[in-house]
Chains A and B, each alone.
Chain A
Amino acid sequence: MTFLGFSLRNIWSKKARSIGLTFAIAIAVMTVVTLAVTSSGLEQSAATIISIGKADFSVAQKNVPDLLSSVIDEGELRRITQTSGVSHTVGVLVETYHLSAATPLLIEIGIAPSDLIPFGVSVVAGHPYVPTATGEVMLGWRAAANFGLRVGSRFYVNGKWNTVTGIYSTGNSFGDSGAMFPLSALQTYNRVPGIVTIAFVKVAKGINPTTVERRIDLDIPQLTAIRTATQFGRADRNLVYLKAAVNGSTVLAVLIGAIIVGNTMLLSLLERTREFGLLRAVGWTRRRMVRLLVEENLLLALFGAMIGVALAFGVTSLIEQLPALKGVLNANYTPSAFARALFTALAMTVLGGLYPAIRAALLKPLKALSYE
Chain B
Amino acid sequence: MSELASHGAPVIELRDVVKTYEGGVRALDGINLVVSAGDFVAITGPSGCGKSTLLHLVAALDSPTSGTVLVDGHDLNGIRDLSRFRRQQVGLVFQLHNLLPQVPVVANIEVVMFGTHRSARQRRARALDLVEEMDLGGRQERLPTKLSGGERQRVAVARALANEPRLLLADEPTGNLDSESVVRMLEVFRKLHSTGVTILLVTHDNSVARAADRRVFMRDGRIVENALTDVT
Q: Are A284 and B107 in contact (CB under 8 A)?
A: no
Nearest neighbor of A4 in chain B, beta-carbon distance: B120
CB contact list, A138-152 vs B, under 8 A:
none
Q: Are A10 and B102 in contact (CB under 8 A)?
A: yes
Instruction: Please choose the segment from A244-252, A254-262, A271-279, A320-328 that sits at the chain B interface, where 4 or more of its residues have CB less than 8 A away.
Output: A271-279
Q: Is A366 in contact with B62, judged by CB distance below 8 angstroms?
A: yes
When C-beta atoms are compared, the residue in chain B nearest to A278 turns out to be B98
Bound-state CA distance A115–B62 (Å) is 88
Q: A1-B103, A1-B124, A283-B163 are in contact. Are A6 and B111 (CB under 8 A)?
A: yes
In this assembly, does A13 line the interface, its C-beta being within 8 Å of a C-beta of chain B? yes
Which listed segment binds A: B25-33, B84-92, B181-189? Answer: B84-92
Prevailing SS type, chain B contact patch: helix
Of all chain A residues, which has the CB nearest B86?
A283
Cα-based distance from A10 to B102 in the complex (angstroms): 7
| Cβ contact of A282, chosen from B106, B123, B159, cutoff 8 A | B159
Contact yes or no, B61 A13, CB < 8 A: no
**Chain A residues within 8 Å of B163, by CB:** 283
A365 near B61: Cβ-Cβ < 8 Å: yes
The answer to whether A79 has its CB under 8 Å from any CB of chain B is no
- In the complex, chain A residues whose CB is within 8 Å of the CB of B81: 285
Cβ-defined contact, B111 with A279, below 8 A:
yes
Q: Is A280 an interface residue (CB 8 A)?
A: yes
| Complex contacts, B123 vs chain A, CB 8 Å | 1
Contacts of A237 in B (CB 8 A): none
Complex contacts, B83 vs chain A, CB 8 Å = 280, 283-286
The chain A residue with its CB closest to the CB of B102 is A13
User: In the complex, are the beta carbons of B115 and A283 less than 8 A apart?
Assistant: yes
Q: What class of interface size applies to chain A in its complex with B?
A: 20 to 34
Which residue on chain A has the smallest CB distance to residue B159?
A: A282
For B159, what are the chain A residues with a Cβ–Cβ distance below 8 Å? 282
- Please determine whether A274 and B124 come into contact, CB atoms closer than 8 angstroms: no
Interface flag for B112 (CB, 8 Å): yes
Residue A9 CB within 8 A of the other chain: yes
In angstroms, Cα B96 to Cα A274, docked, is 11
Distance from B213 Cβ to chain A, minimum over Cβ atoms (Å): 26
Interface centre among B88, B115, B163 (most CB of A within 10 A): B115
CA distance A285 to B83 in the complex (A): 5
- Give the residue name and chain of the B residue nearest to A282 (CB): B112
Kindly state whether residue A369 has any CB partner on chain B within 8 Å. yes
- Given A1-B106, A278-B100 in contact, is the A284-B115 Cβ separation under 8 Å? yes
Chain A residues whose CB sits within 8 angstroms of the CB of B124 once the complex forms: 1
Complex A-B: 16 CB contacts under 8 Å: A1-B106, A1-B123, A3-B114, A10-B102, A13-B103, A14-B102, A275-B100, A281-B92, A282-B86, A282-B111, A282-B112, A282-B160, A283-B85, A284-B83, A284-B115, A369-B98
Name A's B-contacting residues (CB within 8 A). 1-3, 6, 9-10, 12-14, 274-275, 278-286, 288, 365-366, 369
- Listed in ascending order, the chain B residues whose CB lies under 8 Å from chain A are 56, 59, 61-62, 81, 83-88, 92, 94, 98, 100-103, 106-107, 110-112, 114-115, 120, 123-124, 159-160, 163
Q: A279-B111, A281-B86 are in contact. List 4 more A-B contacts (CB 8 A).
A: A6-B114, A278-B100, A285-B84, A365-B61
Q: Which 7 A-B pairs have the closest CB atoms?
A: A283-B87, A13-B102, A283-B86, A285-B83, A282-B112, A1-B107, A366-B61
